[in-house]
């Protein structure tokens, strides 16, 4: 048989020679061919050169080995070995072919070698593998083989790994002609050539396709554009389409989401299952063969057994290599499936939330569905194979134990394993229960944090932030109590995990000793290795059960959300169009809440049919809460219809909601809203919406970036931007909800003339308004009261009805105008020539408008660190709890545990040898004592670690949250709340339950690794030198890897936020997006954001596997060399038990090393969370809340006199001065109105009064006290303010009116009566305990403003500031409120920043500001007498924009 096989080598040698000769002859005619593509091919040549040189070197090594072995045989035995000679010749010729091909073929960029060479490599690999397998079968004595089959020699065994490499070399893909022709520039733009898509099998196996990314990361900081895109299968579009298709295929009514997902990824799951199965089988080969190896070491010198030892060493190496590779491919495959599933679910949830109408899902719920549930389902792909692998692992362990120890001990071991699993289950259940409690507590804390951050300006102005901080700290304390219980339960689980091999081994060996089962060091060590492998499934079972339960909950939550009825039946239809009709309203009832109570009392009841003709202007008016917005929503189809026919809308719609919705992006993007740019029309729209002046002020004009929720725009600017968006859309029907409330009289008039009567003159416009002066221009007026249209008709007809609702409202309006009528006739005032240079009163946002552009560009980009995480971060973290005193104790516990565990294992291996006469009692007693001691230390370690973790997390949390609450308002203006929330949720969670264990895990793994190195070096000192080399190489790999991995980890964190932000933004503006038919564009944007996240996550997981593959191989190779050293050392020089123990621990070496490296990299990645939290502990803080030695008297201020002395304010030293030396006195108990155009400094003056901005010069004195010398709390708590944006908190009416709980119910009811809120509150049986939704969503905007007024009246402050406090209130209510303010504040100093002139007309004094200076300051009567005064011009402008005098007269006659 051998001779016939050796003869086959000869034809191969001849064929290889023939190939060279033929190729030389063929080339003779082509020698002069030029190659023009040198530049293009140079880079590719560089990649191939290394691989080809390595192949040649290996080929020559094999030739030299066979030649050397032939000489050795001839020298010792005088025989010429045919096999060695034939193989040496063939490998020599093969090497020649390779060298020749490299020289010739390489220049033509053909990476695949000649076919004849490939055949030779494959044939050699097959033959050598077969002969090694035959030898192993015969050696282990499984069965006698019938024929004399070829046996391997030492060269065959050594050359087998090299032959594996040759076979992989065959897999290189040749480059296509198209790829060669592609220019270099194009390749640079699209780096996907080096990515996963085009990787060969070998490249995918070893993750070589990541090399270009590592090169890039080493040279420069990685950005998103450097990272190649994900494979097509992982793109969000592809994944979601497949999932939707899978859901559609399910014929049943109730769709099963798990089935649908499995249907889309079953192929990938099957491939992954193969890797998982191979990994499990390979991991059990080591424990199975360890007894053979130890038995081999204990035998006396036997020359024939040397080969046996080498073969065993090679099998160990091969099985560990297979185990490592399959594990890496399994984990990476699981990551890929997870990315695909996550992307698909996220897209489905987004599409659903965008299409859900009627106060769709709450923002928080949807964010949770993506952040928690979709994430958990993606993560479950890791655990899914554990379901079927667990029984296989237990079965394989049982087989090995049965093989080594017999039936009874193996059954005892299984029972002990089951016992540990069962005892672990209640702990795991408790863990899960506590985890859900932590999540609930965290949800409550995050909800309050989110609300607090949104309202931080109001809290600081009212000086409520200490109260809200305490509320937050109480919630954190609840969370911390659950966390404490959870972490101590985790300690018990960790103790059980580490003690389980000890417990199982004590029971098993105890049974062996009782039954007098013969034990050898080989069988003992094999059993110990098996127990160690069993540790994993024991530990994983409860986690697996918990993960299945959690994933099921997540599936149910997402399925319930996706399965909610779309309620499409309520959508307004646009059937066959009737000529000239724009909207057809039919009788029907509508209610936001479709509960039984709402069916009796619908929000809106339409009693008669109505047709709105094309081009009509329809005005809707009514008092606060009468149902104006709800009527508009019924036309849009955004409110559920209880009964009646569908409202039909013919044509494209545009919608301007009452609460402005602007996107994060530029002003231009907000206005265009997906439409193409038409410069001329765009300019007309800007002019019509009075945006030109604002845009001119901003640095980047209309390319200035709008921040989160438009937080640095004023209410009026946001309103006008969304009005411009509607006008630019060029729709047929415009639905405007109170578009003039946030703007002043002049701007309102401008918008009405230029927009409604100008650009929209030919369009159908339906607008709700409180400004009754805009009613007379409407073709039809609808008057609403209590959800009913009580009057409808032309303005003239309705005004003629003296008992009508409109006349009642007009009378109130007239009353407010009468206050302002100057002594002379209106017409004469308006006709004055000075009127030409009108001063416009436009709303002013908080902060300086000039710095808008700069401010936002700075705020949009999150500040991230670069490079390594600094050592100061680590030291701060480690010493945060008890100044680091417990850290050395924890490490000592680990060292003692490790020492005692190795000692106990060595003892039982040593004591079971025949020549050591140890009694059974002594044997098991010492073993139990050593094992028990190690377990006690592990328990101590776990408990101490939990204590450190709890304390560290709490200290860092307190540092961050206190720092954030003490930050100035400018910090919140420039920092999106999502950024702070991210740190207090995601990063804080990592601090609570992750980082301490990661950091400790790294230290523990290092101690374990060093203990194994010491143990092995003790057996043979040469091993220590090997480890030094290997650790050096590992360290180099790790430093090479970390630069890229660190940036990828940072990117994973930062790429998740835009998805959540886009979701949140889209849900808030879903009604607007639907109305403009922009769903597709938003879905596209969402797909793009998900793909950005996926590509970072995909490459992030790939880089980890890249490192593990390389370092696993290094340590497997070291293990192989260790075994060869143990085999080759003389038996007299080694202790077989110790050597066996070293080999047993060596089986875990690759797992341990991977654990060290994984932790090393993960710790740095996770420490980024600590770094981010610490960033927010060092924010520059405001002035102290209280200065003890400068506290004012309890009754201060007594008079309320405010003196401004040369007041100068600038927002930053680099920015211009806003208030330029203002000097004036606001006398006590007077009413002072402050007016002026945009940028005049009105709001800055108020901010200086509350010290939101500190003066850069001059001072403010209140009742003789310089306010800059006292604490902020003492100042702000003595002043009252009603800000422009009404802010309500989630809770009850009582907590909203009196957050500090300082007032009785009677006092609260008194102010509710004064503010016309008592009747509304009494409608709910719960009265003052009636719930207020998040942001006060269950109250209308006008009602919210009344609550804010009641809040201030309740405080009874001597100084009160009103910042346009009644902008969203109808005139009748406004008059009542003004009267209430006058009565209630008769003894107070009231400063009113006015947009509506009637608000300040009856004040004692009016201050007119312009460009930061005082223009006028006098009594309004005096100022009105001078028709050229700035104040007169403002009044005249307001009167001109009010209803025509004849209509007003009508009101008087009635």
User: Mind listing the pLDDT tens digit for each residue in 981-1014?
Assistant: 777 777 778 888 878 888 888 888 888 888 888 8
- Mean pLDDT over 26-33 rounds to 50
CA dist 657 to 409, 633, 1078, 1210, Å?
76, 9, 16, 35
Q: What is the pLDDT of residues 110-123, one digit of tens each?
A: 556 777 778 887 88
Q: Residue 1069: in which H helix or E strand, if any?
A: none
- Distance, CA of 389 to CA of 537 (rounded, Å): 9
Helix (H, G, I), strand (E, B), or coil: what is residue 618? Answer: strand
What pLDDT sits at residue 843? Answer: 38
pLDDT of 571: 45
In this prediction, residue 796 carries a pLDDT of 80
Judged against a pLDDT cut of 60, whether residue 37 lies above it is answered with no
Q: Given a cut of 80, is residue 592 above it in pLDDT?
A: no
pLDDT digit string, tens, across residues 311-362: 788 888 888 888 888 888 888 888 888 888 888 888 888 888 887 765 555 5
The pLDDT of residue 72 is above 60: yes
pLDDT in tens, 1121-1175: 888 877 777 767 777 777 777 777 777 777 777 777 777 777 877 788 888 888 8
Q: How many CB atoms lie within 10 A of CB 818?
A: 12
CA distance 618 to 584: 13
Q: What is the mean pLDDT of residues 170-196?
A: 45
Question: What average pLDDT is seen over the chain?
Answer: 75
pLDDT value at position 261? 82
Check residue 835 and give its pLDDT.
35
Going by the DSSP 8-state scheme, the letter that residue 611 receives in this structure is E
- Read off the pLDDT of residues 910-932 as tens digits, 9 standing for 90 and up: 777 665 566 767 777 887 888 88
Of residues 991 and 25, more confidence is placed in 991
Tell me what pLDDT residue 1368 has: 57
Query: How does pLDDT run across 267-318, given as a tens digit for each residue?
Result: 888 888 888 888 888 888 888 888 777 777 777 555 556 677 777 888 888 8
CA distance 391 to 886: 40
| Range with the largest mean pLDDT of 44-58, 179-193, 1097-1111 | 1097-1111
Confidence tier at 755 by pLDDT (50, 70, 90): confident
- pLDDT value at residue 148: 57
Give the pLDDT mean for 1014-1021: 78
**Among candidates 210, 172, 174, 26, which has minimal Cα distance to 1103?**
210
The DSSP letter of residue 374 is I
Question: Tens digit of pLDDT for each residue in 1252-1282?
Answer: 888 888 888 888 888 888 888 888 888 888 7
User: For 1099-1123, what is each residue's pLDDT tens digit?
Assistant: 888 888 888 888 888 888 888 888 8
What is the arithmetic mean of pLDDT over 583-612?
70
3-state SS class at 582? strand
Summarize the confidence of residues 804-815 as an average pLDDT: 71
Listed range (66-70, 249-253, 702-706) with the worst mean pLDDT: 249-253
For residue 328, the model assigns a pLDDT of: 86
3-state secondary structure of 716: helix
Task: Dump pLDDT digits (tens) for 1194-1211.
Answer: 878 888 888 888 888 887
With a CB cutoff of 8 Å and minimum separation 6, the contacts of 26 are none
Cβ 1247 vs Cβ 1253: under 8 Å: yes
On the question of pLDDT at 1405 being above 50, the answer is yes
Q: What is the pLDDT of residue 911?
A: 73
Listed in sequence order, the residues at least 6 apart from 697 whose beta carbon sits closer than 8 Å to its beta carbon are: 849, 850, 852, 1238, 1239
Judged by average pLDDT, the poorest of 82-86, 833-837, 976-980 is: 833-837
Confidence of residue 598 (pLDDT cuts 50, 70, 90): very low
pLDDT tens, residue by residue, 1279-1311: 888 777 677 777 787 877 777 777 787 778 877
Work out the average pLDDT over 684-712: 75
pTM across the whole model: 0.69
pLDDT at 8 over 80: no
Task: Give me the pLDDT at residue 1366, please.
Answer: 53
Cα distances from 279 to residues 321, 330, 386, 569, in angstroms, run 10, 8, 12, 54
581-585, strands of its sheet edge to edge: 610-613, 581-585, 648-649
77's tokens: 């035995």
Position 1098 confidence tier, pLDDT thresholds 50, 70, 90:
confident
Q: Summarize the confidence of residues 432-455 as an average pLDDT.
A: 81
Contact 811, 1451 (CB under 8 A): yes
For 824-871, how does the pLDDT look when each residue is reduced to its tens digit (9 = 90+)?
433 333 333 333 333 333 333 333 333 333 344 444 445 555 566 778
For residues 256-279, b (16+ Cβ closer than 10 Å) or e, as one string?
ebeebbebbbeebbeebbebbbbb
pLDDT bin (cut points 50, 70, 90) of residue 175 is very low
Q: What does the alpha-carbon distance between residue 1299 and residue 1352 come to, in Å, rounded to a whole number?
A: 12
Of 852, 853, 1166, 844, nearest to 1002 (Cα)? Answer: 1166
Share of the chain above pLDDT 90, in %: 0
Can you give the pLDDT at residue 1239? Answer: 66
Q: Supply the pLDDT for residue 150.
A: 65
pLDDT band (50, 70, 90) for residue 188: very low
Alpha-carbon span 1106 to 1094, nearest angstrom: 18
Rounded Cα–Cα distance for residues 372 and 976 (Å): 22
Check residue 573 and report its DSSP letter. Answer: B
579 torsion bin: left (phi>0), alpha (psi -120 to 50), beta (else)? beta
Residue 255 has pLDDT above 80, yes or no: no
Q: What is the average pLDDT across 881-893?
A: 85
pLDDT value of residue 49: 62
Question: Please, what is the angle between helix 82-104 and helix 2-27, to 10°?
Answer: 20
Residues with Cβ within 8 Å of residue 752, at least 6 apart in sequence: 740, 774, 777, 1441
Q: What is the CB neighbour count within 10 angstroms for residue 252? A: 7
Of 247-261, 720-734, 1012-1026, 1403-1417, which range is least confident?
A: 247-261
Nearest-angstrom CA–CA distance, 1308 and 1313: 9
Average pLDDT over residues 1036-1045: 81
327 Cβ contact partners less than 8 Å away, ≥ 6 residues apart: 275, 279
Predicted confidence (pLDDT) at residue 192 exceeds the cutoff of 50: no
CA angle 549, 552, 553 (to 5 degrees): 90
Rounded to the nearest 5 degrees, what angle is found at the Cα of 1415, between the Cα atoms of 1412 and 1420? 125
CA–CA–CA angle 36, 37, 40 (5° rounding): 155
Q: N- to C-terminal Cα distance for the chain? A: 125
Question: Looking at residue 177, what is its pLDDT?
Answer: 43
Q: Using the predicted structure, report yes or no on whether residue 95 has a pLDDT greater than 60.
A: yes
DSSP state of 758: I
What is the Cα–Cα distance from 1192 to 1050, expressed in whole angstroms?
49
Confidence of residue 736 (pLDDT cuts 50, 70, 90): confident
């Amino acid at each position: 048989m051998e001779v016939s096989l050796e003869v086959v080598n000869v034809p191969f040698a001849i064929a290889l020679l023939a190939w060279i000769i033929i190729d030389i002859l063929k080339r003779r005619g082509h020698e002069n061919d030029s190659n023009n593509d040198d530049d293009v091919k140079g880079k590719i040549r560089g990649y191939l050169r290394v691989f080809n040189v390595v192949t040649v070197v290996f080929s020559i090594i094999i030739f030299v080995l066979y030649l050397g072995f032939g000489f050795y045989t001839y020298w010792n035995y005088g025989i010429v070995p045919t096999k060695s000679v034939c193989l040496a010749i063939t490998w020599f010729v093969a090497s020649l072919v390779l060298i020749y091909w490299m020289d010739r073929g390489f220049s033509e960029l053909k990476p695949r070698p000649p076919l004849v060479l490939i055949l030779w490599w494959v044939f050699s690999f097959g033959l050598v593998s077969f002969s090694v397998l035959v030898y192993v079968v015969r050696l282990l004595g499984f069965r006698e083989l019938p024929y004399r089959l070829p046996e391997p020699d030492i060269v065959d065994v050594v050359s087998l790994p090299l032959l594996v490499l040759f076979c992989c070399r065959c897999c290189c893909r040749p480059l296509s002609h198209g790829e060669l022709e592609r220019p270099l520039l194009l390749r640079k733009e699209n780096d996907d050539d080096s990515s996963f898509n085009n990787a060969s099998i070998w490249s995918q196996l070893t993750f070589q396709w990541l090399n270009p990314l590592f090169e890039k990361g080493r040279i420069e900081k990685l950005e998103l554009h450097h990272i190649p895109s994900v494979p097509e299968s992982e793109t969000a579009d592809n994944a979601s389409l497949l999932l939707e298709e899978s859901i559609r295929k399910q014929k049943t009514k109730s769709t099963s989401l798990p089935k649908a997902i499995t249907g889309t990824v079953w192929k990938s799951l099957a491939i992954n299952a193969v890797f998982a199965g191979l990994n499990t089988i390979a991991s059990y080969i080591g424990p199975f063969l360890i007894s053979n190896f130890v038995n081999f070491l204990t035998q006396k010198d036997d020359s024939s057994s040397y080969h046996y030892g080498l073969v065993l060493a090679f099998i160990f190496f091969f099985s560990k290599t297979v185990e490592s590779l399959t594990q890496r491919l399994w984990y990476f495959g699981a990551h890929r499936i997870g990315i695909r599933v996550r992307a698909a679910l996220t897209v489905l949830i987004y599409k659903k939330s965008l299409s859900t109408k009627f106060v769709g899902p709450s923002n928080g719920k949807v964010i949770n569905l993506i952040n928690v549930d979709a994430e958990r389902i993606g993560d479950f792909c890791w655990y899914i194979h554990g379901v079927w692998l667990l029984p296989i692992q237990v079965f394989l362990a049982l087989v090995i134990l049965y093989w080594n120890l017999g039936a009874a001990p193996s059954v005892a071991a299984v029972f002990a394993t089951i016992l540990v699993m069962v005892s672990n289950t209640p702990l795991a259940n408790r863990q899960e229960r506590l985890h859900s409690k932590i999540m609930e507590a965290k949800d409550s804390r995050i909800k309050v944090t989110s609300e607090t951050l949104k309202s931080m300006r109001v809290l600081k102005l009212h000086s409520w932030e200490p109260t809200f901080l305490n509320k937050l700290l109480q919630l954190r304390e609840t969370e911390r109590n659950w966390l404490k219980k959870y972490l101590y339960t985790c300690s018990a689980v960790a103790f059980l995990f580490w003690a389980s091999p000890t417990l199982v081994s004590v029971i098993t060996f105890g049974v062996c000793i009782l039954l007098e089962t013969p034990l050898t060091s080989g069988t003992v060590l094999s059993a110990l290795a098996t127990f160690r492998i069993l540790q994993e499934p024991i530990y994983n079972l409860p986690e697996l059960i918990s993960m299945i339960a959690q994933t099921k909950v997540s599936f149910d939550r997402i399925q319930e959300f996706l399965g909610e009825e779309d309620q499409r039946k309520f959508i307004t239809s646009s059937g066959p169009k009737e000529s000239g009709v724009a909207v057809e309203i039919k009788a029907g009832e509508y209610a936001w809440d479709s509960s039984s109570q709402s069916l009796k009392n619908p929000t809106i009841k339409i009693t008669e049919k109505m047709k709105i003709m094309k081009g009509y202007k329809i005005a809707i008016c009514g008092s606060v809460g009468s149902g104006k917005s709800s009527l508009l929503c019924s036309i849009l189809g955004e409110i559920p219809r209880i009964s009646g026919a569908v409202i039909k809308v013919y044509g494209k719609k545009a919608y301007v909601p009452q609460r402005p919705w602007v996107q994060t992006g530029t002003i231009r993007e907000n206005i265009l809203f997906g439409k193409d740019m038409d410069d001329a029309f765009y300019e007309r729209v800007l002019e019509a919406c009075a945006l030109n002046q604002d845009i001119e002020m901003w640095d980047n004009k209309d390319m200035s970036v709008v921040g989160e929720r438009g937080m640095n725009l004023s209410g009026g600017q946001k309103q006008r931007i969304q009005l411009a968006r509607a006008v630019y859309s060029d729709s047929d029907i415009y639905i405007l909800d109170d578009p003039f409330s946030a703007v002043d009289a002049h701007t309102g008039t401008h918008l009405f003339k230029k927009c409604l009567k100008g650009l929209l003159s030919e369009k159908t416009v339906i607008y709700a308004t409180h400004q009754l002066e805009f009613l007379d221009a409407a073709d039809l007026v609808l008057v609403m009261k209590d959800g009913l249209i009580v009057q409808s008709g032309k303005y003239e007809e309705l005004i003629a009805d003296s008992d009508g609702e409109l006349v009642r409202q007009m009378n109130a309006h007239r009353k407010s105008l009468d206050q302002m009528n100057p002594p002379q006739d209106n017409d004469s005032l308006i006709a004055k020539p000075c009127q030409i240079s009108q001063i416009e009163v436009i709303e002013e946002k908080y902060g300086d408008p000039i710095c808008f552009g700069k401010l936002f560009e700075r705020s949009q980009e999150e500040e991230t660190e670069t490079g390594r995480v600094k050592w100061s971060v680590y030291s701060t973290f480690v010493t945060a709890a008890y100044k680091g005193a417990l850290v050395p104790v924890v490490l000592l516990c680990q060292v003692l545990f490790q020492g005692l565990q190795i000692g106990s294992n060595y003892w039982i291996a040593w004591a079971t040898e025949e020549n050591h006469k140890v009694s059974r009692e002594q044997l098991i007693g010492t073993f139990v004592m050593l094992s028990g001691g190690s377990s006690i230390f592990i328990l101590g370690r776990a408990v101490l670690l939990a204590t450190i973790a709890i304390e560290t997390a709490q200290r860092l949390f307190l540092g961050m949250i206190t720092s954030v609450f003490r930050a100035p308002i400018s910090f919140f203006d420039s920092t999106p709340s999502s950024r702070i929330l991210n740190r207090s949720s995601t990063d804080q969670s990592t601090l609570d339950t992750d980082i301490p264990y990661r950091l400790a895990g790294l230290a523990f793994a290092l101690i374990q690794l060093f203990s194994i190195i010491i143990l092995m070096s003790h057996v043979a000192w040469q091993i220590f030198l090997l480890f030094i080399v290997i650790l050096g190489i590992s360290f180099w790999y790790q430093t090479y890897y970390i630069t890229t991995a660190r940036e990828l980890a940072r990117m994973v964190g930062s790429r998740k936020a835009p998805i959540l932000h886009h979701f949140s933004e889209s849900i808030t503006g879903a009604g607007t997006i639907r109305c403009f038919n922009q769903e597709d564009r938003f879905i596209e944007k969402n797909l793009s954001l998900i793909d950005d996240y996926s590509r970072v996550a995909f490459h992030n997981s790939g880089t980890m596997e890249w490192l593990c593959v390389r370092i696993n191989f290094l340590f497997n190779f070291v293990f192989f060399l260790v075994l060869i050293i143990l085999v080759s050392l003389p038996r007299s020089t080694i202790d077989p038990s110790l050597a066996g123990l070293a080999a047993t621990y060596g089986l875990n070496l690759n797992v341990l090393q991977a654990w060290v490296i994984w932790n090393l990299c993960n710790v740095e990645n996770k420490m980024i969370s600590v770094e981010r939290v610490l960033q927010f502990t060092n924010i520059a803080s405001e002035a102290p809340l209280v200065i003890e030695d400068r506290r004012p008297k309890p009754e201060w201020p007594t008079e309320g006199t405010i003196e401004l002395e040369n007041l100068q304010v600038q927002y930053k030293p680099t920015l211009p001065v806003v208030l330029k030396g203002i000097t004036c006195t606001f006398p006590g108990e007077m009413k002072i109105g402050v007016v002026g155009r945009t940028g005049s400094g009105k709001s800055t003056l108020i901010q200086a009064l509350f010290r939101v901005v500190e003066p850069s010069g001059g001072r403010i004195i209140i009742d003789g006290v310089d306010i800059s010398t006292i604490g902020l709390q003492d100042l702000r708590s003595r002043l009252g303010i009603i800000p422009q944006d009404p802010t309500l908190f989630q809770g009850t009416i009582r907590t909203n009116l009196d957050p500090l709980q300082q007032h009785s119910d009677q006092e609260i009811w008194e102010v509710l009566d004064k503010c016309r809120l008592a009747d509304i509150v009494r409608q709910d049986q719960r009265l003052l305990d009636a719930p207020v939704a998040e942001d006060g969503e269950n109250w209308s905007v006008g009602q919210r403003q009344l609550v804010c007024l009641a809040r201030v009246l309740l405080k009874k402050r001597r100084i009160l500031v009103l910042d346009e406090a009644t902008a969203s209130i109808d005139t009748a209510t406004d008059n009542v409120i003004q009267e209430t303010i006058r009565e209630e504040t008769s003894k107070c100093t009231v400063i009113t920043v006015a947009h509506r002139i009637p608000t300040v007309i009856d004040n004692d004094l009016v201050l007119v500001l312009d460009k930061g200076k005082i223009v006028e300051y006098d009594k309004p009567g005096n100022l009105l007498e001078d028709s050229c005064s700035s104040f007169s011009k403002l009044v005249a402008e307001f009167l001109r924009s009010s209803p025509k005098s004849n209509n007003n007269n009508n009101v008087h006659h009635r």
